[in-house]
């Protein structure tokens, strides 16, 4: 009975509760719909990162590279080709997938600190290309201001319309990852995370699965980057800045790595801390350090994992 209740809470009500909480937290404050949309886009980014970190067990210090690849691919298309936002999103996803496919054969061969630092090195290269090497096309430090055309069923100039579209994208990303991680493919990813040698022993080509997962993670992150470009109406090197990798890492840890609900909850929690706490406390980053220490020593499963543990213990006691 306890297990059934836990499963029902996790699989049926969890996402709805988080989305409702998101609405109350944001719409109940002075935050604009534009900022709310930014929260949602960041959650998509965290979901993409968590596929790599939480489910496959590979920590990347350079995932902003793929977020920025999607942002710049969409932005450059709009600036020099077509201003259609849907085409820009599609090209952004393809841009991130292409970068992931090219770097994947090199990156996925590494593990541990080597994997994390290789990604950081490539992120630094991408940042240099956007800031200096291709400044003629990317606008360098100033970036590119963009104007998107209106299409009949998606007027992105209307903040409420784009908010609804971003929320739909979040739900779509969640549904895709839910099906993926619940499938035998997801079981294999977790096997690779726990014991890759065992997966190889029973006949799986783990290199191929790691490469595909890396590309999928890159594509979802690029999807978030393309949406961010549309939401802000510009793209600049901050979209690919290596120093911002700490944001998505903290979000995944706070929410609970390896859980889709945890990724969403972590994304919301981090954005609330960074956007609201900073208004009152100049050195708000200190609280992130305290939160990390609490996670390491007390709540290793993150917020969502801790909530599930409490729910499980209560249902078992009640049963």
- Residue 132 within a domain: yes
**Distance (Å, rounded) from C-alpha 133 to C-alpha 67?**
19
- Residue 51 within a domain: yes
The pLDDT assigned to 27 comes to: 53
State phi, psi for 235 to the nearest 5 degrees. -140, 135
- Residue 105 within a domain: yes
- Residue 86 within a domain: yes
Which tokens in the block code for residue 82? 């077509």
State phi, psi for 307 to the nearest 5 degrees. -65, -40
- Residue 4 within a domain: no
- Residue 287 within a domain: no
Torsion over CA: 50, 52, 56, 57 (sign): negative
The pLDDT assigned to 29 comes to: 44
**Distance (Å, rounded) from C-alpha 68 to C-alpha 164?**
23
**Distance (Å, rounded) from C-alpha 182 to C-alpha 10?**
13
The pLDDT assigned to 219 comes to: 97
* Count of domains forming the chain: 1
146: CB partners within 8 A, 6+ apart: 75, 78, 79, 83, 229, 233, 234, 235
Q: How many residues are recorded in the chain?
A: 319
- Residue 21 within a domain: no
The pLDDT assigned to 262 comes to: 86
The pLDDT assigned to 253 comes to: 87
- Residue 115 within a domain: yes
> Please, are residues 10 and 265 in contact by the beta-carbon 8 Å criterion?
no
Question: Can you name the residues that pair with 144 across neighbouring β-strands?
Answer: 235
Per the rule left: phi > 0, alpha: psi between -120 and 50, beta: everything else, 144 is beta
Spell out the per-residue pLDDT of the chain, length 319, in tens: 444 544 544 544 455 545 554 555 555 443 467 888 898 999 999 999 999 999 999 999 999 999 999 999 999 999 999 889 999 999 999 999 999 999 999 999 998 899 999 999 999 999 999 999 999 999 999 999 998 888 877 888 888 888 889 989 999 999 999 999 999 999 999 999 988 888 888 888 899 999 999 999 999 999 999 999 999 999 999 999 999 999 999 899 888 888 888 888 888 888 888 877 777 777 777 777 777 777 767 766 777 766 777 777 777 665 5
The pLDDT assigned to 296 comes to: 66
278: CB partners within 8 A, 6+ apart: 284
Domain that holds residue 216: 34-242
The pLDDT assigned to 236 comes to: 94
By C-alpha distance, which of 31, 27, 39, 18 is closest to 228? 39
Question: Can you name the residues that pair with 145 across neighbouring β-strands?
Answer: 234
The conformation of residue 145, written as its DSSP 8-state character, comes to E
Task: With 0.75 as the threshold, say if the pTM is over it.
Answer: yes
> Please, are residues 242 and 123 in contact by the beta-carbon 8 Å criterion?
yes
The CA-to-CA distance between both ends of the chain, in Å, stands at: 7
Q: Is 183 exposed, middle or buried (0-12, 13-18, 19+ CB in 10 A)?
A: exposed
**Distance (Å, rounded) from C-alpha 189 to C-alpha 19?**
27
């Amino acid at each position: 009975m306890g297990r059934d209740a836990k499963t029902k809470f996790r699989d049926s009500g969890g996402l709805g509760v988080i989305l409702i909480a998101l609405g109350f937290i944001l719409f109940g404050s002075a935050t604009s719909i534009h900022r709310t949309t930014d929260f949602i886009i960041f959650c998509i980014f965290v979901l993409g990162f968590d596929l790599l970190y939480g489910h496959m067990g590979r920590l990347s210090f350079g995932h902003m590279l793929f977020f920025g690849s999607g942002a710049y691919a969409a932005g450059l298309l709009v600036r020099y080709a077509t201003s259609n936002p849907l085409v820009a999103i599609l090209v952004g996803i393809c841009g991130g997938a292409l970068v992931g496919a090219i770097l994947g054969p090199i990156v996925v061969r590494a593990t541990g600190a080597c994997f994390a630092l290789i990604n950081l090195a490539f992120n630094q290269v991408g940042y240099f290309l956007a800031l200096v090497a291709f400044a003629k096309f990317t606008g360098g430090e100033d970036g590119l201001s963009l104007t998107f055309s209106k299409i009949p069923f998606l007027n992105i100039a209307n903040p409420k319309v784009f908010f609804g579209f971003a929320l739909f994208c979040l739900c779509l990303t969640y549904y895709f990852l839910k099906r993926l991680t619940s499938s035998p493919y997801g079981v294999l990813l977790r096997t690779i995370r726990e014991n890759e040698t065992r997966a190889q022993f029973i006949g799986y080509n783990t290199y191929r699965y790691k490469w595909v997962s890396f590309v999928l993670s890159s594509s979802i992150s690029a999807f978030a980057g393309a949406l961010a470009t549309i939401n802000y109406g510009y793209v600049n090197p901050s979209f690919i800045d290596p120093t911002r990798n700490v944001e998505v890492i903290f979000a995944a840890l706070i929410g609970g790595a390896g859980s889709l609900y945890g990724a969403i909850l972590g994304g919301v929690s981090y954005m609330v801390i960074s956007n609201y706490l900073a208004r009152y406390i100049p050195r708000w980053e200190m609280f992130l350090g305290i939160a990390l220490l609490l996670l390491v020593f007390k709540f290793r499963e993150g917020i969502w994992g801790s909530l599930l543990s409490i729910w499980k213990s209560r249902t078992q006691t009640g049963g």
